[in-house]
Amino acid sequence: MGLLEGKVAIVTGAGRGIGREEALLLAREGAKVVVNDVGGALTGTAPDEHPADDVVALIVDGGGEAVVNGDDIGTWEGGRNVVTQAIDTFGQLDILVNNAGILRDKMSFSMTESDWDDVIRVHLKGHFAPAHHAAAYWRNRAKAGEAVSGRIINTSSEAGLYGSAGQANYSAAKGGIVSLTWTLARELGRYGVTVNAIAPRARTRMTEGIFGDAVPPSDGRFDAWEPKNVANVVCFLAAPASADISGQIFVVFGGNIYAMSTFQPLGQVTRDAPWTPQELIEAKGELFRGIDSGVPPFSFF
C-alpha cells in the first residue's frame, strides 16, 4: 500500500522536469493526479506542446489514475479550473503541489516590463491562484464538519532566499512564495491544511545552462542532480505522517535536505528612545555584532 493511497493531487507544471517526477511519484504512492502543464518554451512563450499527455500516459500505463489539465496556472481561471477538475474527476482534493515556472533572466537594467510581469505572474500568481481555490474548498469542507487533511507544497528557490544577480523577477517571485507559504500556513492550519515550500536544485531544462557540468554519472553512482531526489521530499510532505509540519522551507539538493530557519536578527541595538542617524553610524559595530567581520552581509554582493 502506497503512502498516498486514496488521495487526490494536483501538480502544476508537471509535464517536465521536477514536476514530472513529482506527479509520477505521487501516482506510484497511490494518489490520483491532475497533471497540469501549459506546454511551451522555458521563457513561457509558444505554449503549443503537450508534455502532460506523456506523463498521464506513463501513470495510466503503470496502473495509476491521472488526467491532463492544460490551463495556464498563472491566471485566476486556470487556478479555479485545475481545482474544479480534480474535484469533478476524482471527487476530492487533498494535495496541491505548486511547481510551474518560467525563466527570463536579465540584469535589472536590461529587464523589460514583460520579463518582470510574466515571471511574477507565472510563479507568484501561479502559486496563489490554485491555492486560493483549494483553500476555499478545504475551508468549506471543514466548516461542513468534514475531516480535512490538506497539503500545499510550494516551490521556491535559493534565488528567493538569498537573491540572485540577473534574476530580479525570479528572485522576487520566489521570495514572495516564501512569505506566501508562511501566510497560508498561518491561515489554513485551523482547517487541517499544512503549507510548506521547497527550494530545490536539479538538472532540468531550467538549469542546464547554469549547472552545465552536472552531467549524470556514467558509472551508476548516485546522481545528486536527478529531479527524482526532489520528488521524494515533496511526497514526504504530502504524506499523512507529515501533518505536524507546516510553514517550513526546505532546501533540497541530492541527498541533502536542509530545514531552513525563518529570518532571525543578526544583531541589535535597543533602547527606549529613538536613534539619530549619527548615533546609528556610531553604533554600527554593535548592530552587526553577530557577524564576525562586523560588516553587513549585503556588502558581500
Ligand X SMILES: NC(=O)c1ccc[n+]([C@@H]2O[C@H](COP(=O)([O-])OP(=O)(O)OC[C@H]3O[C@@H](n4cnc5c(N)ncnc54)[C@H](O)[C@@H]3O)[C@@H](O)[C@H]2O)c1
* Catalytically annotated residues: 157, 170, 174
Report if residue 254 touches ligand X, rule: CB under 6 A. no
Q: How many residues bind ligand X (CB under 6 A)?
A: 33
The whole-angstrom separation of Cα 288 and Cα 284 is 6
Smallest gap from Cβ 269 to ligand X, in A, equals 36
Task: For ligand X, give the closer residue by CB, 101 or 176.
Answer: 101
Report if residue 19 touches ligand X, rule: CB under 6 A. yes
Task: For ligand X, give the closer residue by CB, 204 or 246.
Answer: 204
Smallest gap from Cβ 290 to ligand X, in A, equals 28
Report if residue 11 touches ligand X, rule: CB under 6 A. no
Report if residue 155 touches ligand X, rule: CB under 6 A. yes
Query: Which residue, judged by CB position, is nearest to ligand X in the bound state?
Result: 17
Q: In this structure, are residues 14 and 99 in contact, taking their beta carbons and an 8 Å threshold?
A: yes
Q: Is 301 helix (H, G, I), strand (E, B) or coil?
A: coil
Q: Which of 55, 201, 250, 252 binds ligand X (CB under 6 A)?
A: 201
Task: For ligand X, give the closer residue by CB, 84 or 192.
Answer: 84
CB atoms within 10 A of CB 252: 20
| Orientation angle between helical segments 51-61 and 17-28, nearest 10 degrees | 20
CA 6 distance to own-chain centroid: 23
Specify the DSSP element, H or E, that contains 198: strand 193-201
| Orientation angle between helical segments 126-143 and 76-90, nearest 10 degrees | 50
Q: In this structure, are residues 225 and 203 in contact, taking their beta carbons and an 8 Å threshold?
A: yes
Task: For ligand X, give the closer residue by CB, 148 or 153.
Answer: 153
Q: Which three cell numbers stand for residue 204?
A: 532540468
Smallest gap from Cβ 119 to ligand X, in A, equals 9
The whole-angstrom separation of Cα 254 and Cα 173 is 24
The whole-angstrom separation of Cα 229 and Cα 226 is 6
Q: Which of 7, 10, 11, 13 binds ligand X (CB under 6 A)?
A: 13
Q: Within positions 257 to 296, which residues make up the interface with ligand X, using CB under 6 A?
A: none
Q: Which of 26, 33, 51, 248 binds ligand X (CB under 6 A)?
A: 51
Q: Is 201 helix (H, G, I), strand (E, B) or coil?
A: strand
Smallest gap from Cβ 192 to ligand X, in A, equals 26
Site residues (vs ligand X, CB under 6 A): 12-13, 15-19, 36-40, 42, 44, 51, 72-74, 99-102, 122, 126, 155, 157, 200-202, 204-207
